[in-house]
Amino acid sequence: MAKQPDEVPGRGFTIVELLIVIVVIAVLASISFISYGSFKAKAENTKTIAAVSQARIAMELLRTETGSYLVAASSSTADRFPCLGEYVNDTCASITGTIAGGVGAAYVSNSVNTQLRSLATIPQPSTNAVYLEGSPVVGAFLVLPTPDDPNAGNTYSIGWVLQDTASCGINDAEVSYQDTSGIFCYLNIAVS
Instruction: Identify whether 162 is part of a domain.
Output: yes
The answer to whether residue 173 sits within a structural domain is yes
Domain assignment present for 130: yes
How many structural domains are present in the chain?
1
In 3D, which of 184, 162, 154 has the Cα closest to residue 42?
A: 162
Asked if the structure places residue 114 within a domain, the reply is yes
Residue 10 lies in a domain: no
Please check whether residue 59 lies inside any domain of the structure: yes
- Domain range for 156: 15-190
Considering the domain boundaries, does residue 8 fall inside one? Answer: no
**Torsion angle in degrees (nearest 10) through CA of 85, 88, 89, 91:** -40
Amino acid (1-letter code) at residue 153: G
Please report whether residue 136 resides in a domain: yes
Q: Could you list the pLDDT tens digit for every one of the 192 residues in the chain?
A: 566 666 556 678 888 989 999 999 999 888 877 777 778 888 888 988 998 999 899 999 989 998 888 888 888 777 888 888 765 554 565 444 444 444 455 666 667 777 888 888 888 888 776 766 666 677 788 888 888 888 888 999 888 888 877 788 888 888 877 777 788 888 898 886
Q: Does the predicted TM-score (pTM) go above 0.85? A: no
**5 three-state secondary structure:** coil
Q: How far is CA 72 from CA 66, 79, 117, 183, 184, in A?
A: 15, 5, 17, 26, 23
Contact yes or no for 138/87 (Cβ under 8 A) = yes
